[in-house]
A and B are shown apart, each in its own frame.
Chain A
Amino acid sequence: MLDTSRSAAHLTHNGNGAASAAPFLRITGIDKHFGSFRALSNVTLDVQAGEFICFLGPSGCGKSTLLRIIAGLERQNAGMIHSLDQDISDLPPAQRQFGILFQSYALFPNLNVRENIVYGLRNRRMRSAEIDSRLNELIELIDLKGSEGKYPAQLSGGQQQRVALARAIAPSPRLLLLDEPLSALDAKVRVHLRQQIRDLQRRLGLTAIMVTHDQEEALSMADRVVAMRDGEVEQIGTPTEVYHTPRSLFVAGFVGKMNILPGRVGGGRLSIGSLSFAMPAFYDTPENQGEVIACLRPEQMRLKAAGAADALPARVMQLEFLGSFWRATLVVPALGDAEISVDLTSRDMADMPVAIGESVGVALPEDRFAVFPASQSGQVRESVRQ
């Protein structure tokens, strides 16, 4: 199909030794101010060739600004950007050879699909036969055969974004940058296009960075997620790392629902209400001493029959039907009368129906606790606000 993208080609040229040492993109100590407002501070990040990275964070946290700095559309106030050991901090956008996809598609309204896609190829003075074959490949790739002559206004949002994608990858960019490419689309189209983009990126071996504020999108697409807050990187990790072992309460709350239980840490033990647990190794750090917040995700707990041996007694206060699962709100006396949410699959519900007001048992997976200093408790609200 499509010839390998330039990023991969570049790597093979470089040989074996050197290429593996230097990451494809190395971002170090990026600062950015708008007037007195600090949009980014000391952002540092490595991106490996062929990776799909997601910048995740609430709106206004500086994701787009970081992406635009990588693209060269914005100039950083401090910090460096290297690509394969070459300093590209001061290169204009055109010379970085990065493709970019915007939320607004930004298709040229006066050019048709074909002309939009080949726009960047013409700039590179390719022969017209070459351009034609490239165009056909791309059209096929984005599934828009037969629409070559249409204008952007005649296409649906999803189709427009696919054309924009084709335009961005047509000149074989070394890196593909996507700024919330899906957030203007309907939920259904969004999920479909999500897969299409990911599929394409894998097949072409593209390195890609995508900005999103949708945690589901980030978790489902990314090889690694960069969680951001107020212009700073909070955590970098695979989706499972970020989800299961968040580094801060903010990240914990942003990537999914969390039960929040006030507790204490002392002598390597975590005590909540009248109970005491072994401290999970990952969170056994010097900061996590004294007053802490312990977190558990609703789907990690299990409901059992009232009085079951390994379960805490609890009472069902609320039941919420959420389609593919149920969310029960329980009060657990042993946890100091804390309210916790527990998710039940439809099968769980069929096996053991529960109703509001009933007494049940709940089993806590103690090794799944995420623990943060109590000083972070303010971050809960922040992460939910999105």
Chain B
Amino acid sequence: MTDLATRHGAAADHGTSFRPGIDWEHVVRLLVGALMLAVALVIIVLPLYALLSQSFEDHEGNFVGLANFISYAQDPILRLSVFNSLWVAVLTVAIVVPLGFFFSYALTRSCMPLKGLFKGIALLPILAPSLLPAIALIYIFGNQGYLKWLMFGHSIYGPVGIIMAQVFHCLPFVVLIMTTALATADARLYEAAETLNTSRWRVFWTITFPSVRYGLINASLVVFTTAIVDFGIAKVIGGKFNMLAIDVYRQIIGQANFQMGAVIGVILLFPAVLTFIVERVTYKHQTSQLTARAVMLQPKPSRGFDRLMLLAVAVLAVPILGIIGTAIFASFVTLWPYNLSFSLANFNFGAFDPGGWLSYWNSVEMAAWTALFGTIMAFCGGYLTEKHRRGSRVLLGYHIVAMVPLAVPGIVLGLGYIFFFNMPSNPLNVVYGTMTIMVMCTIGHYYTVPHLMALTALKQIDSEFEAASQALGVSFWTTLRRVTVPISIPAIIDIATFFFVNAMTTVAGVIFIYGSTTKVASIAVVALNDTGDEGAACAMAMMILYTSAGVKLLQVIATRLLLHRQQQWRSSLREA
């Protein structure tokens, strides 16, 4: 009683003075927003700026306009790389997009059994570094490959191997995009067509295909960009076949020709920028397809069709499992193909590489820091952007910067990091060669997707929570801590997992900036493969896969447990 009375008194005291004081909420919001923007600028924009300016300068740092680009265009070997990269990417798209679409169609529009298992198989490649399929394909189709006869005398080293590995590597992207696009469909449209006596074929082309058109465009662009800018696959299985990303590496590491490296880096930005623009334009269309009154399509069981789909999906799963199985097998044999007895020798990394197991632990450490700081940044930034963006230029600027990495290949950002952090005049160059710069680069490289994940999760939380607590006189950070974060925990775990897995598998982003003490596992795979220790390379690649898979599994379990525990209030959330 007394407590209540005094509180009332206090409230009344405050109530009498409506003097406009300092709006602390506003100040905090502004400061945090400015800090986020500053960090985002440092890890994303300034390195890119350094790269761009480098491409317009000569060795002495004088501005030379387009001279570097002109000399690039005059070099027939380099020109060939552009052509090679283009047709390899186009062919990869042409193969993997229909396959992924078909796979997703079976998963979403049939009643085949074991959907979860097959979706898991299709997504498995995400957990592995892109080097893994390349190495495994060498084991399968290489000079001593067990299926070499299937190549009919052609060599796996070169475009054939690159495309096969890219298809493996890119399938999960297509399946993720297409299962999402195919999962949301209005059942009423199909029923209307059915009562109008429409053939299956026409239904597909007038309803199904148009509704996933943008998904297909996006999937194609994502695959195209990934294939053009990928470094790891071409490095391992490309042989003498030149591609753009390899050229960057050669120019920088081999010839120390930074200007030419920068020029190729700028060229590599084009497809990604194109993807970025198309993605932005189509995004709106994609979301406006379904009205609130639509009824979700549930596939109906149909024995023949479901069996056919199961069979087709199973056939597609064989090469995926074959590639991973080969890598597992190769990592456990003494010496392929001469001595196939079981051995753990390949895991004794110290015997092949002075870094030994340290590279693996470096990877884990880097992934952990990336997940920690990346998640904090992406969530805080997403929160401010979603809930407090109105009228704030700082936050709008932040949002735009956060979208940039989607258009920046890892190898290009890594290159930018060399130029920016190696500048003697830059006070930040103390981080050069440390774990810090690796974490910064990895966060920057993968920043867009977590940013969007945070935005999506926060969008689902009614903005009236904020309004209600403001009306109650509660500061926004209290609402953030008490309501918003608890509701968003699954999304936060999701974001952390995304950062962790990508940090474990990335090659291109860190190949230019690792130091002797900060070499990571994926780099070690490249090195081991270079020195001909394929068994150890396989073992290291598998260690990455095991770790990513373990973290992913933890995420699934943690989220399940959490949702189960919070079932009561979450179910009410869904109804609202």
**Residues on A facing B (Cβ under 8 Å):** 71-73, 92-100, 102-104, 106, 108-111, 119-120, 122-124, 153, 164, 167-168, 171, 184
Contact = CB atoms under 8 A, between A and B. Distances in A.
Nearest to B291: A104
Given A109-B289, A123-B202, A184-B293, A100 B192 contact: yes
A106 B189 contact: yes
A119 B192 CA distance: 10
Nearest to A94: B197
B188 to A, nearest CB: 4
B198 interface: yes
Interface stretch (B203-211, B304-312, B332-340, B560-568): B203-211
B247 interface: no
A104 B197 contact: no
Contacts of B195: 71-73, 93-94, 96, 98-100, 168
Of B196, B206, B291, B295, most A-chain CB atoms within 10 Å = B196
Nearest to A171: B196
Nearest to B202: A123
Interface in B168-206: 186, 188-189, 191-199, 202, 206
A209 B43 CA distance: 64
B294 interface: yes
Given A73-B191, A102-B192, A153-B288, A108 B197 contact: no
Given A93-B194, A109-B289, A102 B188 contact: yes
7 contacts: A73-B195, A96-B195, A99-B195, A100-B191, A104-B293, A120-B196, A153-B288
> Chain B: interface secondary structure?
helix
A123 B189 contact: no
* 7 closest A-B pairs by CB: A120-B196, A106-B188, A94-B197, A104-B293, A110-B210, A102-B188, A93-B194
Interface of B: 186, 188-189, 191-199, 202, 206-207, 210-211, 213, 288-289, 291, 293-295
B193 A119 contact: yes
B106 to A, nearest CB: 23
A99 B193 CA distance: 10
Nearest to B198: A123
B206 A119 contact: yes
Given A104-B291, A108-B206, A123 B199 contact: yes
Contact of A73 (B189, B194, B206): B194
B294 A104 contact: yes
A99 B207 CA distance: 18
B188 A104 contact: yes
Of B188, B202, B210, most A-chain CB atoms within 10 Å = B188
Contact of B186 (A104, A168, A184): A104
A72 B300 CA distance: 14
Nearest to B196: A120
A207 to B, nearest CB: 15
Nearest to A109: B289
A63 to B, nearest CB: 15
Nearest to B295: A104
Contacts of A99: 195-196
Contacts of A96: 195
A104 to B, nearest CB: 4
Contacts of A164: 192
A106 B289 contact: no
Contacts of A123: 196-199, 202
Contacts of B289: 109
B207 A106 contact: no
A309 B188 CA distance: 62
B296 to A, nearest CB: 12
Contacts of B186: 104, 106
Contacts of B191: 71, 73, 93, 100, 102, 106
A124 B207 CA distance: 18
A22 B192 CA distance: 28
Contacts of B197: 94-95, 97, 120, 123-124, 171
Contacts of A95: 197
Contacts of A111: 206
A104 B206 CA distance: 18
A122 B188 CA distance: 19
Of A99, A102, A167, A184, most B-chain CB atoms within 10 Å = A102
A93 to B, nearest CB: 5
A100 B191 CA distance: 9
B194 A167 contact: no
Contacts of A110: 206, 210-211, 213
Contact of A94 (B198, B206, B207, B211): B198
A98 B196 CA distance: 8
Nearest to A111: B206
B198 A119 contact: yes
Of A93, A109, A111, most B-chain CB atoms within 10 Å = A109
Contacts of A102: 188, 191-192
Contacts of A168: 192, 195
Contacts of A104: 186, 188, 291, 293-295
A109 B191 CA distance: 15
B192 A167 contact: yes
Contacts of A184: 293
B162 to A, nearest CB: 36
A92 B197 CA distance: 9
Given A73-B191, A104-B295, A123-B199, 15 more contacts: A93-B191, A94-B194, A94-B197, A94-B198, A104-B293, A106-B186, A106-B192, A110-B206, A119-B196, A123-B196, A123-B202, A124-B197, A153-B288, A164-B192, A171-B197
Nearest to B293: A104
Of A73, A111, A167, most B-chain CB atoms within 10 Å = A73
Contacts of B294: 104
Contacts of A97: 197
Of A72, A96, A123, most B-chain CB atoms within 10 Å = A123
Contacts of B193: 119
A153 to B, nearest CB: 7
A129 to B, nearest CB: 21
Contacts of A71: 191, 195
A184 B288 CA distance: 18
A106 B189 CA distance: 5
A128 B189 CA distance: 24
A108 B196 contact: no
Of B195, B207, B289, most A-chain CB atoms within 10 Å = B195
Of B186, B193, B197, B213, most A-chain CB atoms within 10 Å = B197
A168 B202 CA distance: 18
Contacts of B198: 94, 119-120, 123
A93 B202 CA distance: 16
Nearest to B199: A123
B196 A167 contact: yes
Given A93-B194, A94-B195, A108 B293 contact: no
Contacts of A92: 194
Nearest to A95: B197
B167 to A, nearest CB: 30
Contacts of A94: 194-198
A123 B206 CA distance: 12
Contacts of B207: 108
A103 B293 contact: yes
A93 B188 CA distance: 13
A92 B191 CA distance: 11
